A and B are shown apart, each in its own frame.
Chain A
């Protein structure tokens, strides 16, 4: 078999092709390597500092017990629907983020009904006791559970003075993307943080107003001109378990 020698022009042309190929390949690889980074920067920029929770605000609720009707559970239904909390017909183990509690004054016999939910304490015992730091308090006062680091030890449930937390005892269905949950972890009221971050009020507050009671008022506890301050200035408010001095974000009036 004979081998034909290559001409000088053909050799130069091949070298140019090779150079062009490597240049274009390098550009392509660089683009592939940099593009995700550029995309990340773009995403990071989209979540600017202004939109991050800040300690200039402290979100809270004021419950006017005079307007809260016994037997009405619009707030509970709205919460269940908003967060996909469908029970299994086992009240002892089903999740409940907000519940209606009927109270009777042991001295006078006076009766009233109040919703009890996570009180979003300034010094939350659940956050103190959590071994992994999964229970945490956002800068704007909302107490949450990081579902990725909760190991399901349930020590926070032992520590919560309001029994406001639930443990997921079984498989879940119908989860909402804005409210991720996980079997074997602990959860509680998020104050509808996904709505607050989009300048909306919590589902329970909206439902209470739509039902014509307006017993729940949402707002910034630090805002001297806001609705909470305005209502609080007209009447005495109280927190549950005041003996523990937790400075709760949920306050009650008219009792």
Chain B
């Protein structure tokens, strides 16, 4: 196969229209952050029991997806799959912009975002959070160098090595993100080693779904569709990754269901926890797992429209999964004195209330907008869009 060629995104009304829409999201995001910071977090749904809310759902989604967005580049550079080579540059770009979007949400949700410099200069190396700061910034540096190797013909021979480094880095990064929750021994909803590999599977699935959607979007803006062979390959991959996430979810719940210790938690998440079982069964399992798996595995649905529909369903499932995991995990009360029922004026022993505010959604959507805006603008600045080198049929 011939080496792919690339071009800049041509200027068009459609392109600038999409840029205007995502810019509006960014404006809403920053306005929401300003509102939350100037008034204080009491204007959000977050409180002393549910301390991480919707902004964290968005931030974790974007960070985990950033790692998975590198799939196409990794498959081309590390595993020699030429089919994905035309998408390599876009794949690496997506990884950077999604991560920047996620980190921006995370930083703007801090109680003191103005102290970002403190987070950059004071490190507690016993904290997985501190390690993640290095993993995130390091990932951006590695992928920027990786992109440079792709762009600069004299450096093309190093693409394989950088691809391998970036691949290893992204696995460690997602392990680190999963470990932020896995290391919380005090909370039974989180304290589980399976979270780290589950986050890797989630990154592969969410990242591939986003690759399909954003590639289809960017190709449509240019005026042509996503090449069929590429779409079919990504579609097949997404099917496998959806099953992989389902595997870890099942293992996680079965492990907790086995011992009596976690029966109350499982009952809360799976049966009588109000919104959480609904989001789990309808959002995560039905819409986010079963439906896309059926669509992706069926030969008769092998069209771009159904594939994009399946990818969008995977993203719906992703949000539901992260909402149930992050917020449901906090809403379930900590059993501080086992064997005793607890009541207090500080909401001990009861399910914590959490009603997300518009500002939280605004901030989260602002992060998504920022990721898309930087992604789109970058395609105008540098030659990210492939013009040739596409495979003529599915390679697997």
A92 close to B41 (CB less than 8 A): no
Q: How far is the CA of A163 from the CA of B330 in the complex (A)?
A: 11
B124 to chain A: which residues have CB within 8 Å? 127, 130-133
Bitwise interface map of B from 170 to 192 toward A, beta carbon under 8 Å scored 1, else 0: 00000000001001111100000
Given contacts A93-B47, A151-B111, A154-B51, contact A129 B127 (CB under 8 A): yes
B110 close to A159 (CB less than 8 A): no
B122 close to A92 (CB less than 8 A): no
* Interface flag for B247 (CB, 8 Å): no
Q: Which of A93, A130, A165, A170 has the most CB of B within 10 A?
A: A93
* Interface flag for A190 (CB, 8 Å): no
* Interface flag for B12 (CB, 8 Å): no
Please report the number of residue pairs spanning A and B whose Cβ atoms sit closer than 8 angstroms. 171
* Interface flag for A149 (CB, 8 Å): yes
- The size bracket of the interface on A is 35 or more
B337 close to A158 (CB less than 8 A): no
Given contacts A91-B346, A129-B183, A157-B51, contact A168 B127 (CB under 8 A): no
Bitwise interface map of A from 94 to 110 toward B, beta carbon under 8 Å scored 1, else 0: 11100111111111000
* Interface flag for A198 (CB, 8 Å): no
Interface size on B, residues (CB 8 A): 49
A138 to chain B: which residues have CB within 8 Å? none
Given contacts A99-B344, A167-B111, contact A158 B47 (CB under 8 A): no
B347 close to A92 (CB less than 8 A): yes
* Interface flag for B35 (CB, 8 Å): no
B41 to chain A: which residues have CB within 8 Å? 93, 167, 169-170, 184
* Interface flag for B391 (CB, 8 Å): no
Expressed in whole angstroms, the minimum distance between the Cβ of A167 and any Cβ of chain B is 6
Q: How far is the CA of A23 from the CA of B189 in the complex (A)?
A: 75
A116 close to B42 (CB less than 8 A): no
Q: How far is the CA of A62 from the CA of B185 in the complex (A)?
A: 25
* Interface flag for A241 (CB, 8 Å): yes
Other 17 A-B pairs with CB < 8 A, given A106-B341, A131-B130, A149-B115: A91-B346, A92-B347, A96-B346, A100-B345, A101-B348, A102-B343, A105-B340, A127-B124, A129-B183, A150-B115, A151-B110, A151-B115, A155-B127, A163-B348, A169-B47, A183-B111, A241-B186
Q: Which 4 A-B pairs have the closest CB atoms?
A: A152-B111, A184-B111, A161-B186, A170-B40
Chain B residues with a Cβ under 8 A of chain A: 37, 39-42, 47-49, 51-52, 110-113, 115-116, 118-119, 122-124, 126-130, 133, 180, 183-187, 330, 334, 336-348, 353
